[in-house]
Amino acid sequence: MSTKRILVIDDEKNLCTIIKTCLEYLGGWQVLTSTEASYGLLLASTELPNAILLDIMMPNMSALTVLSALQSHPLTQKIPVILLTAKAQMQDLKQYAQLSIAGVIAKPFAPLKLAMQVAEVLGWERIEEPSAAHS
């Protein structure tokens, strides 16, 4: 079985680095990142990741525009998308429920639990939660 690949599209470079580190180390997945929505769309269609984590609040192109572009392109329309958002109020969640997405992960998230959350949303093999022991 090949390693799953996840594309992270988030304009915050440091957050992309944290997500990449967490998902590679704790999830064992290959992670591609893009801080630009347009480059993220290009990566999605050329690299064909197994899933995409998409930030809602993006400059230059809204996440809903990115989502629409992904879902209208034959190569990317079946890739599950998880929204990353600091906007997780009830009315926001109701709006997201109308979209064809795999799920929503609220920011701020617990870095050590992120891989487990992603696996849970996507129905991938369960990732063990790291022990509470400090090293």
Asked if residues 33 and 47 have their Cβ atoms less than 8 Å apart, the reply is: no
| Residues 17-34 pLDDT 10s | 999 999 999 999 999 999
- Provide the percentage of residues in the chain whose pLDDT is more than 70: 91
- DSSP, collapsed to helix, strand or coil, labels residue 111 as helix
Q: Which residue has the higher pLDDT, 126 or 111?
A: 111
Q: CA geometry: angle at 72 spanning 86 and 34, to 5°?
A: 45
Peptide bond into 108 cis (omega under 30): yes
Q: Please check the confidence at residue 1 and state whether its pLDDT lies above 60.
A: no
Asked if residues 82 and 104 have their Cβ atoms less than 8 Å apart, the reply is: yes
The whole-angstrom distance between residue 32's C-alpha and the CA centroid of its chain comes to 10
Single-letter amino acid code for the residue at 73: H
pTM (predicted TM-score): 0.89
Whole-number pLDDT of residue 24: 96
Whole-number pLDDT of residue 129: 59
Mean pLDDT confidence for 101-114 = 93
Asked if residues 55 and 76 have their Cβ atoms less than 8 Å apart, the reply is: no
| Residues 49-67 pLDDT 10s | 999 999 998 888 988 899 9
Q: Mind listing the domains of the chain with CATH numbers? A: 5-122 (3.40.50.2300)
Q: Which residue has the higher pLDDT, 132 or 36?
A: 36
Mean confidence (pLDDT) of the chain: 89
Please give the Cα distance from 20 to 32 (Å, whole number): 7
Residue 126 banded pLDDT, cuts 50, 70, 90: low
Mean pLDDT confidence for 96-111 = 89
Task: Dig out the tokens for 12 from the structure.
Answer: 């915050």
